[in-house]
Amino acid sequence: MENAERLLLDLVDAGHLVPMGIDGMYGRGAAFEDTLLRFDAYISRSAKDDGATLVRFPPVINRRDFERSGYLKSFPHLAGTVFSFDGTPAEHQHLLETVEAGGDWSATQKMTGAVLCPAACYPIYPTLRGTLPQNGRLFDVFSYCFRHEPSKDPARMQIFRMREFVRISDGDSVRPWRNMWIERAMELLTAIGLPAVSAVANDPFFGRGGRMLAANQRAQELKFELVVPIASEESPTAIMSFNYHQEHFGSTFGIQTSDGAVAQTACVGFGMERVTLALFKYHGMRVDRWPDSVRRVLWG
Amino acid sequence: MKDKIRNILREHGKLAQDALSLLDEADLYQAGMTSHASVNVMLALESTFDIEFPDRMLKRNVFESIRAIEGAVTELVSGLSSKPAGAR
């Protein structure tokens, strides 16, 4: 059995994950959820003096904003769009008959105005159209995110939570802020016993054009990840990412700095389920048996 | 060939200045070409010159200037026989 599948079985046996009959989607047990929320509070403590504005969006984004964001150019294979029935009673009858016969009922569905959120920071940029205050903005966002990549690896869920801090300002502020977070995050993870390593990374861009986008992203060191082996030693899992978008969102959504330049953006994201899974992987399935040093940090 | 490359850049490069007046060695990224624009330039070069860029050439520096693009296209056009069978 693959390591990933064995880890998944251990997590299910311990009651940490509850299978839902579809790869990459699980209920979370009490200890799993408590650990995740404790880690979330730990992040908040580390960032309490930063002055970030907290906003919580539901796990969807306005379809028009999504279309403008450019996500479909880069990741058409990961996006999930919300569809719903919008037909006549006769068409409803056809829908029920098709479902009853085990057929394909997608033709009865119509696209709605909502797309599942692909990353917690996506809903924030469209709200910032216009001119930023002098020192730019800093946001704290947290959301379930969806990516269509079914897998037996518990560390590759289709729907998972992401806590992010997002900096919107000029390049001279945004880049050092991102680099500060790489160091801070290493300290945070070391204190809870996770052997994270920082690495230049690329997003999983689609197709041949995507190879070029990935090469560009690496050549410019736009993305860093902190990785930890979870299901595999050879290909460790990213539990955090640090992304510098340059002017992409600033130009797409018409955001300017107080000097009138196109705003630059960066985000720092914690994969909340992945961090939690790493904790179970490294410290065992029983939270009450975790090292005191780790318990003290998370539970105080 | 350079004229064709300049026309492709004018249409797909999203450059801040006219591609026809760019120096051969001018940095296209500095001139405003985004990563997504460079993908469109790459695809237009493939259809115009009937070539396919191999993975090793799908890199930032291959498309960084008119001269670099010309070098890559020349290499592919002259080595047509090395194109993998059934690749197109």
Q: Write the pLDDT tens digit of every residue in A86-145.
A: 999 999 999 999 999 999 999 999 999 999 999 999 999 999 999 999 999 999 999 999
Residue B58: which of A70, A73, A212 has the nearest Cβ? A212
The domain that holds B27 is classified in CATH as 1.10.1200.10
* Contact residues for B75 (Cβ-Cβ < 8 A; gap 6+): none
Given a cut of 80, whether residue B82 has pLDDT beyond it is no
Rounded to 5°, the CA angle A190-A191-A194 comes to 40
The pLDDT of A189-215, averaged and rounded, is 94
- Concatenated DSSP letters of A160-211: EEEEEEEEEE-HHHHHHHHHHHHHHHHHHHHHTT---EEEE------HHHHH
ipTM of the complex: 0.81
CB A136 within 8 A of CB A257: yes
The backbone region for A126, taken as left when phi is positive above 0, alpha when psi lies in -120 to 50, beta otherwise, is alpha
Given a cut of 70, whether residue A180 has pLDDT beyond it is yes
CB B48 within 8 A of CB B20: no
Contacts of residue A217 in chain B, CB cutoff 8 Å?
A: 35
Q: How many CB pairs under 8 A join A and B?
A: 32
Q: Which residue of A has its CA nearest to B35?
A: A213
- Residue B87 falls within a domain, yes or no? no
Q: Mind listing the pLDDT tens digit for each residue in A265-294?
A: 999 999 999 999 999 999 999 999 999 999
Count of domains for chain B = 1
CB A167 within 8 A of CB A245: no
- Concatenated DSSP letters of A261-272: SBPEEEEEEEEH
Class at the top of the CATH hierarchy for domain A3-62+118-287 = alpha beta
Give the residue from A299, A69, A280, A82 showing the smallest Cα distance to A193. Answer: A280
Half-sphere exposure of A152 (CA within 13 A, CB side): 10
**Residues of the domain holding B37:** 2-80
Chain A positions touching chain B (beta carbons under 8 Å):
70, 73-74, 208-209, 211-213, 215-217, 219-220, 248
Give the C-alpha separation, A227 to B4, whole Å: 44
Contacts of residue B63 in chain A, CB cutoff 8 Å?
A: 212
Query: Hey, are the CB atoms on B35 and A213 less than 8 Å from each other?
Result: yes
- Residue B61 falls within a domain, yes or no? yes
Given a cut of 80, whether residue B86 has pLDDT beyond it is no
The pLDDT of B45-71, averaged and rounded, is 93
Report the SS3 class of residue A43. helix
The pLDDT of B66-73, averaged and rounded, is 94
Q: How confident is the model at residue A246 (pLDDT cuts 50, 70, 90)?
A: very high
Give the C-alpha separation, A174 to A263, whole Å: 10
